[in-house]
Amino acid sequence: MTKKRAFQWLALGALALGVASCESATPASRIQANPVIFNSLPEQHRQLVQQGLICQGMEQNAVLLAWGRPDTRATGQMKNGSPCERWEYDTIEPVTTVHTGFGGWYGGWGPYWHPYGGSGFDTTYIPRCAAWVDFVNGRVDRWMHTGR
């Protein structure tokens, strides 16, 4: 087997592994993958989950079906001693910058290359919190969603 062919098989295997590990992307596909959990929810919560919405008092399983697995989880305790947990959902936001400069120069220790030689645009993607849910005693207490 040639190196090129081996690399192609390795890349194909990595792609297959990545696709297999991806979580269902929509409430409908998460519901289809977890019908027992969905059918155990109250009717009002089932209707909201199907629309990708949540409400106060919802269980964590319902939020998992509606919004998917959180990117970050943090646990704590309320003033009254009740356990609490926060789930955060991240998004990636593009930030574009304009740069001007020159290609390179020669210094006392040798030639140097400026990383922004010439002028143009750079786009960097930064993560930011798009939504969070606070649970108290395993049920939704409050939440925020930016809509993006």
Give the pLDDT confidence score for residue 34 in this predicted structure.
Answer: 96
The two structure tokens encoding residue 34: 């977890």
pLDDT in tens, the chain (148 residues): 555 554 454 544 544 444 444 556 899 999 999 999 999 999 999 999 999 999 999 999 999 999 999 999 999 998 999 899 999 999 998 988 876 655 555 555 555 555 555 567 788 898 899 999 999 999 999 999 987 6
Give the pLDDT confidence score for residue 123 in this predicted structure.
Answer: 87
Please, are residues 63 and 88 in contact by the beta-carbon 8 Å criterion? no
Contacts of residue 74, Cβ cutoff 8 Å, sequence gap at least 6: 85, 86, 88
